[in-house]
Chain A
Amino acid sequence: MAISEGVKAESLASVMEGADIYLTLDQYGKNAPVPLKYLPEVKKINGVMRVVPRVLGRTYLGDSLAVVVGIPAGELPPSVECVEGKPFSSRGEAVIGVGLARHFNFTVGHAFMLGGVNGRMLKITGLFKADSSIWASDLIFIPFEDASAIFKTGDLATDFLIYVRPGYTSAVAETLKKIEGASFRIQSKELVKQYFNKGFTLKGGIFTALYTVAFALAIPALLVSSGFGLSERKREIGILKATGWQTSEVLEMVVFENLIISLTAAPLALLISFLWLKGLNGLFIAQFFIAEIGLFPPFNVPARFLPIPAFLSFFFSLILTMVGSLYSSWRAAVIPPAEAMK
Chain B
Amino acid sequence: METIIRTEKLAKIYNPDTSYEVKALWDVDIEIKKGHVAILSGPSGSGKTTLISLLGAIDRPTRGKAFLMGEELTAMSDVALSKVRRETIGFVFQSFNLIPRLSAIDNVAFPLIPMGVSVTERHRRGSELLKRFQMGERMRHTPEELSGGQQQRVAIARALINNPQIIIADEPTSNIDAEAVKYLIETIYALKKEGRTIIISTHDQSLFNLADVIFDVKDGRITGMREFKQ
Contact = CB atoms under 8 A, between A and B. Distances in A.
B175 to A, nearest CB: 15
Contacts of B85: 241-244, 337
Contacts of B6: none
B118 to A, nearest CB: 16
B114 A239 contact: no
**Which of B58, B85, B110, B162 has the most chain A CB within a 10 Å cutoff?**
B58
A244 B59 contact: no
Classify the secondary structure of B's interface with A.
Answer: helix
B78 A334 contact: yes
Contacts of B79: 246-247
Contacts of B91: 242-243
Interface in B110-160: 110-111, 113-114, 158
Contacts of B111: 243-245
Interface string A6-25: 00000000000000000000
Contacts of A235: 97
Contact of A243 (B53, B60, B110): B110
Contact of B58 (A242, A245, A247, A253): A242
A203 to B, nearest CB: 44
Contacts of A239: 97, 99
B46 to A, nearest CB: 17
A247 B83 CA distance: 11
Contact of B82 (A238, A241, A338): A241
Contacts of A245: 82, 86, 111, 113-114
A239 B110 CA distance: 10
Given A240-B110, A242-B91, A338-B59, A247 B97 contact: no
A241 B111 CA distance: 9
Nearest to A239: B97
A253 B99 CA distance: 15
B93 interface: yes
Interface string A244-258: 111101000100000
B22 to A, nearest CB: 14
Nearest to A249: B114
A75 interface: no
A42 B57 CA distance: 85
B36 to A, nearest CB: 23
A32 B101 CA distance: 58
B114 A236 contact: no
Contact of B78 (A227, A247, A338, A339): A247
Interface in B88-113: 91, 93, 97, 99, 101, 110-111, 113
B73 to A, nearest CB: 12
Given A242-B97, A249-B114, A337 B59 contact: yes
A195 B99 CA distance: 56
A324 interface: no
B87 interface: yes
Interface in A215-251: 227, 235-236, 238-247, 249
Contact of B60 (A241, A253, A336): A336
A236 B158 CA distance: 15
Nearest to A235: B97
A244 B162 contact: yes
A244 B82 contact: yes
A337 B58 contact: yes
A274 to B, nearest CB: 30
A338 B87 contact: no
A176 interface: no
A83 to B, nearest CB: 84
A108 interface: no
B99 A236 contact: yes
A283 interface: no
B158 A243 contact: yes
Interface string A313-338: 00000000000000000000010111
Nearest to A337: B58
A338 B99 contact: no
A341 interface: yes
B173 to A, nearest CB: 20
Given A241-B82, A242-B97, A336 B58 contact: yes
Interface of A: 227, 235-236, 238-247, 249, 253, 334, 336-339, 341
* Top 6 A-B pairs, shortest CB-CB distance: A244-B86, A338-B59, A249-B114, A243-B111, A337-B58, A338-B53
28 contacts: A236-B99, A239-B97, A240-B110, A241-B82, A241-B85, A242-B91, A242-B93, A243-B91, A243-B111, A243-B158, A244-B83, A244-B85, A244-B86, A244-B162, A245-B82, A245-B111, A245-B113, A246-B114, A247-B78, A247-B79, A334-B78, A336-B53, A336-B60, A337-B85, A338-B53, A338-B58, A338-B59, A341-B58
